[in-house]
Amino acid sequence: MKNMFLYTITVLIWGSTWIAIEYQLGEVAVEISLIYRFALAAIFILLFSKLLGLSLKFSFKQHLYIALLGLLNFSLNYVMLYKAQTYLSSAMTSIGFSMLLLVNIVNTRIFFGKKITIKTYIGSMIGIVGIMTLFWPEVKNFNAASSTITGIIFVLSGIIFASLGNMISVRNSSHDLPVLQSSGWGMLYGSLFLLVIALYNNIEFTFSMKTSYILSLAYLTIFGTVIAFYSYFVLLKNIGPEKASYSIVLFPVVAVILSSLFENFEWTVYTISGFILVASGNLLVLTPREKLKKYTAQFLQRKIESFPASDIKVSVAKVKSPS
């Protein structure tokens, strides 16, 4: 029940953060908005941990891995995704990002030696076809200057960084690093990396006083970062990256619904087909082999039972009759 609760929280919050990110774009540079988000979240978590009497001390080696988590999951990953949403709708970015599930499975094999099953390969191919279908109008008329292609590149880059960050999180959990405190330090390191990027690129520090910007920043900080990441990292620890990644299949549903309501997201044959294929590929990968066999057997049984008895007799008679 605890894992189910964490799962539901993760799906609902992360499914809604994509639309909240839209209100962060435009007036304030992406890197600066992310510094505000993760620095505030880090301060909140570290102070909360201190109030609970939790230890914030880690060894130098542990800090290195926590810093690496911050670089991948709380810095580079989000820079790529925020920039992607300057070219794509929140729905399209969310659907594209759901391919993280497949990358997580491949990286779990690479870093932890977990075997990749045949159904995973099939599911991956279905997912890739789904992404191609989703963006087919742009892929068909490929143009290096196309804004959509640029958005896709940013999404794929974000997926790679996020997956590597997930692997670091699994590694840290396996070495008994506490989720709450290590997340707080990781967010602090992530905001410091973002600060270095901003200073190196001479990005101006600004702040928007628009209500939409302030409210979306507060939502992304408390719910999208503190609560959702804690829930997700606990799931990674409790049930592993493959099962925890199931949330990635579900939150695009929330994102698409919200995008349809607030962004006038337009459904086409390509978006509907691509969405179904991506979700189907991910579900195939996540469904245990035993359950898959059971569902297939039940499906075939229902199909057989749906045929009229007379048709079955005729078919059998034809098979038995001499040629």
- Residues 5-24 have pLDDT tens digits of 887 888 888 888 888 998 99
What is the rounded CA–CA span in Å between residue 322 and residue 310?
Answer: 20
What ranges in 135-268 are assigned the alpha helix state H?
136-140, 147-174, 179-200, 211-219, 228-244, 246-262
Which residue type sits at 285? V
**How is residue 42 written in tokens?**
């880090």
Is pLDDT at 310 greater than 60 in this prediction?
Answer: no
Torsion of CA 199, 204, 207, 210, to 10 degrees: -140
- What pLDDT, on the 0 to 100 scale, is given for residue 306? 66
Is pLDDT at 96 greater than 60 in this prediction?
Answer: yes
pLDDT level of residue 75 (50, 70, 90 thresholds) = very high
Q: Which range among 74-83, 167-176, 189-198, 270-279 shows the weakest confidence by mean pLDDT?
A: 270-279
**How is residue 15 written in tokens?**
């499914």
The helix or strand, by DSSP H or E, that contains position 323, with its residue range, turns out to be none
Rounded mean pLDDT, 45-70: 93
pTM over 0.85: no
Contact between 18 and 224 under an 8 Å Cβ cutoff? The reply is no
Contact between 104 and 163 under an 8 Å Cβ cutoff? The reply is yes
C-alpha radius of gyration, the chain, whole number: 23
pLDDT level of residue 275 (50, 70, 90 thresholds) = confident
Question: In angstroms, what CA-CA distances link 1 with 5, 158, 283?
Answer: 6, 31, 21
pLDDT, mean over the chain: 82
- What pLDDT, on the 0 to 100 scale, is given for residue 321? 46
Q: Which residues contact 246 (CB under 8 A, 6 or more apart)?
A: 7, 101, 282, 286
Is pLDDT at 86 greater than 70 in this prediction?
Answer: yes
